[in-house]
A = this chain, B = another copy of it.
Amino acid sequence: MKYGETLLRVRYAETDQMGVVYHANYLNWMEVGRTEFFRQLGMPYSEIEKNELFLPVTKVYCHYKAPARYDDLIRISTTISSLQDVRLIFKYEIYRANTNELLASGETEHAFVNSKGKPVVLKKYNPFLWRRMQDVTGEKAE
C-alpha cells in the first residue's frame, strides 16, 4: 500500500434496499481515510484532539460513479489538495480494490478550531502538524 492509502471491507450494515452501499456511508469512509492519513503523517487524529485542535468538516462533496457492494474490499486514497492558514481540503478517491474500479471521488473542507470552536491559525497553534502537512500537500499516493 502507498502513502495515504487504506483498505476496508464493506459491511452489511452499510448496504440499503437497492442492494448497494447507501451513499452517506462514503463520508464515513473518507473519515477512515483521514484517520489513516494522519497516522501515516506521524500524528494520529486522536492526538490532535488531545492537543485541543479540532478539524470539523465545513463542506463535503462526493461524486458517485459505480456502486460498492457488501463484502467488497475498498481502497481509499487520501491527499491534501489545499492547505491554508485556517482551513484545509482533503481529496479522496475510493476504489474497488480487486478491480481497481473508481467508485467515487470527493472532497472535504475542514476548519482549524480550538476546543471552544474558535478558528485558530495552524502555523502558530500546532507548528509540527503544519510543517508535516505542508510537506505532503499536493502529494499523490503513488
User: Which residues in A have some Cβ–Cβ distance to B below 8 Å?
Assistant: 9, 11-13, 15-20, 22-25, 27-28, 31-32, 35, 44-46, 54, 56-64, 67, 69-71
Q: A27-B23, A28-B11, A46-B71 are in contact. Are A16 and B16 (CB under 8 A)?
A: yes
A32 touches which of B9, B64, B69 (Cβ 8 Å) = B9
- Copies of the protein in its oligomer: 4
Q: List 27 A-B contacts (CB under 8 A).
A: A9-B32, A11-B28, A11-B31, A11-B35, A12-B16, A12-B45, A15-B17, A17-B18, A17-B20, A17-B70, A18-B54, A23-B27, A23-B56, A23-B57, A24-B25, A24-B31, A35-B71, A44-B71, A45-B70, A56-B64, A56-B67, A58-B63, A58-B64, A59-B61, A59-B62, A60-B61, A61-B61
